[in-house]
Amino acid sequence: MLLCSPYLCIPLIFGFPTKFSQDADKQGRMCPRCNNAAVVGGNSRTWFEFFWIPLIPFSKSRIWLCTICQWEMKQGDGPDPQPPQQGWGRPPPPHQPMYGQQHV
């Protein structure tokens, strides 16, 4: 926004950015979108900023956020992302005999 008069022109810079603060827990969880163990929990808060100074806090919520693909979900809106498991979280494939082998 630009405030102008015949003698003075003052630019007004403001916005509503969202800030994220991660919880102390550093263990990542599995992302349902990109399948990486990079989902962390934390707080998300929207602020009114005037000249890059946060002045008035607005909404605050607890969210899950993937640090790779930026997927996010409010905590409590669905099932929580699962912690990573051994073997990339996938069970091993079932054993199948090769061609020409017989079971005894």
74 φ/ψ angles, rounded to the nearest 5 degrees: -70, 140
Q: Using CA atoms of 34, 37, 43, 45 in order, give the dihedral in degrees to the nearest 10.
A: -30
What's the confidence (pLDDT) of residue 86? 57
**Are 48 and 72 contacting, i.e. CB atoms less than 8 angstroms apart?**
no
Give the end-to-end CA distance of the chain in Å, rounded to a whole number. 82
Residue given tokens 């912690």 in the structure block: 83
What's the confidence (pLDDT) of residue 3? 60
Pull the structure tokens for residue 14: 């403001």
**Are 63 and 73 contacting, i.e. CB atoms less than 8 angstroms apart?**
yes
Low-confidence residues of the chain: pLDDT under 70: 1-6, 25-26, 86-104
